[in-house]
Amino acid sequence: MDDNLSTGQIGGDLGVAKALLDAGQLVGIPTETVYGLAANALDPDAVLRIFQVKNRPTFDPLIVHTDSLEKIGAFVTHIPDVTRRLAEVVWPGPLTILLPRQNIIPDLVTAGLSTVAVRIPAHPLTLALLQSLAFPLAAPSANPFGYISPTTAQHVADQLGQQVPYILDGGPAQIGIESTIVGFAADETLTVFRLGGLSVETLEAIVGQPIRVQTHSTDNPAAPGMLSSHYAPRKGLTLLPNPELMDTSSILAERRDIAASGALVFQQLLPNIPPTQQRILSLTGNLAEAAKNLFRLLRELDTLPIDHIYAQPVPNFGLGRAINDRLARASYQ
């Protein structure tokens, strides 16, 4: 079907998206965090296409998206009380929960793990799409593996358009950074495995106790989702040592030509780099605004005629922790 549909089309037609997904094809979908590359999560052939199009290693499992807690009952064996409470408060929202899987979820989705990652995203178009479908959607971020996640439909078309027939346009992602992932460690402690669009402080307020954060960096992860190098621009990126450092001349003198450098800064321009080669995350120092702008501005810097990017860390609390995590992984060589 749809042989006449040219690839990489952007539009707002739920009927087109549903027909493609029903036929086992891929569709770009908007969420409040980042855009996803979606396929029928119960169809291994469709899921395999996701890995091929993203050039993603199959040891890195996918998140299953659905639109109701009731539907999740068919994919998981049970939902522990503390995670049920989180789900009830946060969903639809930027939280992914690792839960014990049922066999209906293909091995390819979970990379053979005994848990499945599930999430109800907060975007009206995608929720309506999920309601209309007879199956949940497996959807990683819609970027080539390792590259910056997309926060607009155009970002998806630019990078994967040749291989994706349709991208549902839901406007710019409101949060701009991927969902926070929680699950249980081997000792059954509730643990954050990926910092993301829901802050640790907010999670702790909901569950009423401190939560362990365990986002290891490794090149050969024992648990997936923790690759050191990720979210990276094509250009080299150096993370500055601290948010307060404003005079970068010593660092620049060591390494490169100022004229060929750019910078991603938090609130104000650095004095040593040409202003047109800098991007400001949030003039007012608002971390939610910074998160929303992060990937778009990194992409902009990546297309400028510069050969290196300096990034200033942001204050390390709230969404700032997730932003700093992304910058650190983007800088990893």
Binding site for ligand TXA (CB under 6 A): 31, 33-34, 36, 60-63, 96, 98, 110, 113, 115-117, 119, 121, 139-141, 178-179, 181, 223-225
Nearer of residues 21 and 117 to Mg ion, judged by Cβ:
117
Shortest Å distance, C-beta 203 to Mg ion? 20
Shortest Å distance, C-beta 147 to Mg ion? 9
Rounded to an integer, what is the distance from CA 310 to the centroid of its chain? 22
36 binds, among ligand TXA, Mg ion, none (CB under 5 to 8 A by kind): ligand TXA
- CB burial string 102-136: b at 16+ within 10 A, e below: eeebbebbbeebebbbbbbbbbebbbebbeebebb
Backbone angles phi, psi at 119, to 5 degrees: -160, 145
139 binds, among ligand TXA, Mg ion, none (CB under 5 to 8 A by kind): ligand TXA
At residue 239's C-alpha, the angle toward residues 332 and 294, to 5°, is: 90
306 binds, among ligand TXA, Mg ion, none (CB under 5 to 8 A by kind): none
How far apart are alpha carbons 322 and 287 in whole angstroms? 10
Shortest Å distance, C-beta 224 to ligand TXA? 4
How far apart are alpha carbons 8 and 28 in whole angstroms? 9
331 binds, among Mg ion, ligand TXA, none (CB under 5 to 8 A by kind): none
Nearer of residues 113 and 206 to ligand TXA, judged by Cβ:
113
Nearer of residues 177 and 237 to ligand TXA, judged by Cβ:
177
Shortest Å distance, C-beta 130 to Mg ion? 19
Total residues at the site for Mg ion (CB under 5 A)? 1
Residue 3, sorted as left (phi over 0), alpha (psi -120 to 50) or beta, turns out to be: alpha
Nearer of residues 137 and 252 to Mg ion, judged by Cβ:
137
How far apart are alpha carbons 60 and 65 in whole angstroms? 16
Shortest Å distance, C-beta 238 to ligand TXA? 24
Query: 167 has which bridge partners?
Result: 10, 28
Shortest Å distance, C-beta 197 to ligand TXA? 7
- Going by C-alpha positions, the residue among 52, 185, 50, 175 that lies closest to residue 123 is 175
Residue 205 burial (CB count, 10 A): 11
Q: State the maximum Cα–Cα separation within the chain, in Å, rounded to a whole number.
A: 60
Nearer of residues 141 and 277 to Mg ion, judged by Cβ:
141
223 binds, among Mg ion, ligand TXA, none (CB under 5 to 8 A by kind): ligand TXA
117 binds, among Mg ion, ligand TXA, none (CB under 5 to 8 A by kind): ligand TXA
Classify residue 225 by its DSSP letter.
Answer: S
| Token couple for 247 | 């005079």
Binding of residue 141 to Mg ion (CB under 5 A):
yes
Nearer of residues 72 and 240 to ligand TXA, judged by Cβ:
72
β pairing state of 137-138 and 63-65 = antiparallel
Nearer of residues 225 and 320 to ligand TXA, judged by Cβ:
225
Residues that bind Mg ion (CB under 5 A): 141
